[in-house]
């Protein structure tokens, strides 16, 4: 397994490098099981505990609840080096836990909710999921139909969620429900323990990539949860979801950029050894030009993404434009880069013998999850006043 030699961005300190080493060692310890876990469609629950023991599931979480209290540059290191698992499904599941389902609890949850749910999620003892998408509304959050009706000190929940990562085994779900009028003004967030009566998992969905992450459809039938599990104010959940999406999209872009460079560097190493017509593939001009074009574009994607990290790190309300651009650019670029990298391997690239075949199928999700590329463009047209 080869490593990508990165030019250190000036923001990375010795502390960042120490974390990078820790994450890389953790990720590489999982890599040998990648094919096995993809075949099984799930990976061991113990992996969450291993990550939790290293503090990796609470890098930005408050120290008083067990987190590290660090910033987005440390999360950048986490998302980059996690690529060394060689398993996008594992990466997605862990990032949902650390950066999608739990940060909003830390931000607006009560102390009681943090102790009951966030603290054990940081240690990896409880698995978290984010429950937003539904059959009739993935990127369209305002179309949520799962309802929560107030009944005394409880909410009674009815509805369905779809495409939920960690959904088959989550101990709790950060759940978006409709408590008010149609549209974005009637959505509320709450923490939903999955041992509640009336909740059940429909099935684990079969996917073409990210196979080791369990992705489920969930059903809620007269499920009662206490009002005290609500996150923030009633009917204000849409705004929190939109803020939360920024972090989700940013970690997707970070990992995507780093994964692309790994793929190109390994394609170069393969092309140096593989000969055709008496010379290595990398001696053919067509491949030399493709590879340096991709490295140039990857570097541009990295700089855009790091710019978004820097802005988001300083002010989480100021970076929507840059984060949206980073996810759009990196996601679309990855489709071209991974296609060409796979092509260099020829017939071997079409087998599961090399990681490039899994990387090619896995990367397709980047243009879909967390908001499709088309939605990213719509967001940007509004920001730019078009």
Q: Which residues are catalytic?
A: 248
Sign of the Cα pseudo-torsion (295, 297, 303, 306, in order): negative
Residue 227, CA distances (Å) to 89, 145, 179, 189 in order: 33, 19, 12, 11
Q: Find all residues with CB under 8 Å of 64, minimum gap 6, and list them.
A: none
Sign of the Cα pseudo-torsion (333, 386, 246, 175, in order): negative
Query: C-alpha 180: how far from its chain's center?
Result: 29
Give the tokens for residue 222: 């007269």
User: Locate tokens 């539904």: which residue?
Assistant: 134
Q: At what angle do helices 373-383 and 320-344 cross, to 10 degrees?
A: 150
- Give the integer Cα–Cα distance in Å for 199 and 218: 8
Largest interatomic CA distance in the chain: 79
């Amino acid at each position: 397994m080869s490593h990508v030699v990165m030019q250190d961005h000036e923001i990375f300190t010795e502390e960042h490098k120490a974390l990078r080493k820790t994450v890389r060692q953790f990720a590489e310890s999982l890599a040998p099981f990648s094919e096995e876990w993809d075949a099984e469609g799930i990976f061991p629950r113990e992996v969450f505990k291993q990550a939790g023991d290293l503090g990796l599931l609470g890098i930005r979480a408050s120290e008083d609840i067990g987190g590290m209290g660090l910033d987005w540059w440390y999360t950048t290191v986490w998302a980059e080096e996690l690529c060394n698992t060689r398993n996008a499904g594992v990466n997605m599941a862990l990032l949902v836990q650390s950066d999608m389902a739990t940060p909003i609890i830390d931000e607006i949850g009560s102390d009681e909710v943090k102790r009951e749910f966030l603290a054990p999620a940081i240690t990896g003892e409880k698995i978290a999921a984010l429950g937003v998408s539904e059959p009739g509304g993935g990127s369209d959050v305002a179309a949520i139909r799962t309802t929560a009706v107030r009944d005394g000190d409880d909410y009674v929940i009815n509805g369905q969620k779809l495409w939920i990562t960690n959904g088959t085994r989550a101990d709790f779900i950060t759940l978006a429900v409709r408590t008010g009028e149609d549209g974005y003004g009637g959505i509320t967030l709450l923490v939903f323990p999955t041992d509640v009566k009336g909740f059940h998992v429909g099935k684990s969905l079969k996917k073409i990539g990210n196979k080791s992450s369990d992705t489920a459809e969930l059903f809620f039938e007269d499920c009662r949860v206490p009002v005290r599990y609500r996150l923030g104010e009633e009917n204000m959940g849409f705004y929190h979801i939109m803020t939360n999406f920024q972090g989700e999209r940013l970690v997707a872009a970070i990992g995507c950029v780093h994964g692309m460079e790994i793929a190109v560097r390994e394609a170069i190493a393969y092309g140096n050894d593989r000969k055709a017509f008496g010379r290595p593939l990398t001696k053919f001009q067509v491949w030399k030009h493709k590879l340096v074009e991709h490295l140039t574009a990857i570097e541009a994607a990295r700089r855009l993404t790091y710019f978004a990290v820097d802005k988001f790190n300083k002010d989480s309300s100021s970076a929507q434009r840059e984060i949206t651009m980073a996810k759009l650019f990196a996601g679309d670029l990855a489709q071209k880069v991974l296609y060409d990298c796979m092509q260099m391997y020829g017939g071997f690239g079409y087998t599961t013998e090399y990681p490039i075949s899994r990387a090619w199928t896995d990367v397709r999700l980047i243009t879909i999850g967390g908001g499709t590329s088309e939605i990213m463009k719509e967001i940007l047209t509004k920001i730019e006043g078009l």
